[in-house]
Amino acid sequence: MTEIIAISLENEMDLVLAHKRSMKVAEKLGLTIATQTTFATAVSEVARTVIDYTNHGMLNIYIDGKIPRFSLMAQIIFNSEARPTRSDEGFYYAQKLVPEFEMSTSGTDHLIIMRIGLPRSLKLDQLKINLLKTFFDLEGPINAYEQIKHKNSLLHKITGEQEIEIKREREINEKKNEFISIASHEIKTPITIVKAYAQMLRMMRSECSDKANEIIDRLNGQTTKLGYLANQLMDVSRVENGNLEYNFESIKINHFIGEVLSVLKHVYPGNEISWNAGQEIEVHLDKLRMEQVLTNLIGNASKYSSASSVIQINSVLEAEQIKIAVIDAGIGMSKENVERIFEKFYRNKEVRDSHPGLGMGLYITSKIVTDHGGRIWVESEQGKGSIFHFTIPLSTLSKS
């Protein structure tokens, strides 16, 4: 069965279209003028009655069958709560015109099929049918109305496809978030266990050889990292689901930074961490989350710079905000990376193989800063180092 034309039945204008198109198909097939008229009239009569019921009908004209027996077939599908019957005016009239008329109903869906057998003398074959289809596909609109109708249906189709695409993307994204959330939870139990066993081993130091103790220390270090990664993964899924929670309190900024740095000095003993404090002032922040910001920025500074290089922290009190800078003399990054570095899962190509990481840290960091009402950005030059700046507003309008 080959579809030759399809016309949606929406209003009176479509009746003209249905008539003209049916006529043309019959003409192209080489049927007599009498048969052309009979077929076209039957189609438009049915269409007229369908339009009385609904403005969402659909007419399709097919060539059905196979060599040597083909038929010209018109199919009309429509949906209506009312109960159309064979004796409705247009349907009744059509039955008198065409030799085959079938009508069936399923719920509120109604189907009408009309058929005219095609004489063998037409010498039809699949090739000719395909040519006929191509002819109608390529033929321009009969009138301005059809032109608009075509454009409209094309637009509908494109919009529909885009909507489906957006929906699918959203679904994939939701599934991915759900997976990250579940995965980060699931790996927490084994991490808890491994970490605790490693700690128990460390408590048995005196019973172990130096070699064993070194291994135990390394094991401890790695499980701590693993725990940190699991927490980051969980943070990413919280950011995605919009439930990163904050406990804001009033904090003296210099005191706070000083405390965090005193811990970080032990975490990154390879680098000298130098701290240039600005004026002391109280700000509104979540201590644990802001500690995470500093830990991430200083951790990155240490990760991407040579041992024993200086990591400089500056804070300046400006009119409406505190501006904090983390300055390293590390490998720096290209302009492209400067622009994309805060994107989720983004990893700089040049360091992907040399420095492990999942590209979550700066993404989470930037979320925490913006959730505090601040801004974060980076200045960098390859081979010279990077400066990460972030601000904390004094009058906090941050969300809690």
Partner 1 sequence: MAIKVFIVEDNEDIGFILESYLSQEGFEVSLFPSVSAFKSVYPSRLPQVFLLDVMLPDGDGIALCNEIKNNPEAAALPVVLMSAHSPAEQIVTESKADNFIKKPFDLELIPKTLIDAIHR
Can you give the binding site for partner 1, defined by CB under 8 A? Answer: 185, 188-189, 191-193, 195-197, 199-200, 203, 223, 227, 230, 234, 238, 245
Is the Cβ of residue 240 or residue 328 nearer to partner 1 in the bound state?
A: 240
Residue 188 CB, shortest distance to partner 1, in Å, is 4
The two beta strands, 109-118 and 100-106, are antiparallel
The two beta strands, 310-317 and 272-276, are parallel
Side-chain-facing half-sphere of 277: CA atoms under 13 Å: 12
Is the Cβ of residue 111 or residue 196 nearer to partner 1 in the bound state?
A: 196
Residue 186 CB, shortest distance to partner 1, in Å, is 9
Is the Cβ of residue 189 or residue 308 nearer to partner 1 in the bound state?
A: 189
Q: Report the alpha-carbon distance of residue 181 to residue 165 in Å, rounded.
A: 24
Residue 194 CB, shortest distance to partner 1, in Å, is 8
Residue 295 CB, shortest distance to partner 1, in Å, is 17
Residue 239 CB, shortest distance to partner 1, in Å, is 12
Distances (CA, A) of 36 to 19, 26, 300, 310, 367: 10, 5, 79, 91, 70
Residue 365 CB, shortest distance to partner 1, in Å, is 19
**Dihedral sign of CA atoms 5, 62, 59, 163 in order:** negative
Q: Residue 2's beta-bridge partner residues?
A: 63
Is the Cβ of residue 226 or residue 310 nearer to partner 1 in the bound state?
A: 226
Residue 197 CB, shortest distance to partner 1, in Å, is 7
Yes or no: say if 229 and 184 are a contact pair by the CB < 8 Å rule.
no
Is the Cβ of residue 243 or residue 308 nearer to partner 1 in the bound state?
A: 243
Tokens of 9: 């039945």
Residue 253 CB, shortest distance to partner 1, in Å, is 26
> What are the backbone dihedrals phi and psi of residue 284, each rounded to the nearest 5 degrees, phi first?
-100, 115
Is the Cβ of residue 248 or residue 346 nearer to partner 1 in the bound state?
A: 248
Is the Cβ of residue 203 or residue 319 nearer to partner 1 in the bound state?
A: 203
Residue 285 CB, shortest distance to partner 1, in Å, is 19
Is the Cβ of residue 220 or residue 396 nearer to partner 1 in the bound state?
A: 220
Distances (CA, A) of 290 to 173, 264, 303, 322, 338: 28, 13, 20, 13, 22
Is the Cβ of residue 74 or residue 191 nearer to partner 1 in the bound state?
A: 191
Is the Cβ of residue 227 or residue 359 nearer to partner 1 in the bound state?
A: 227
Residue 195 CB, shortest distance to partner 1, in Å, is 5
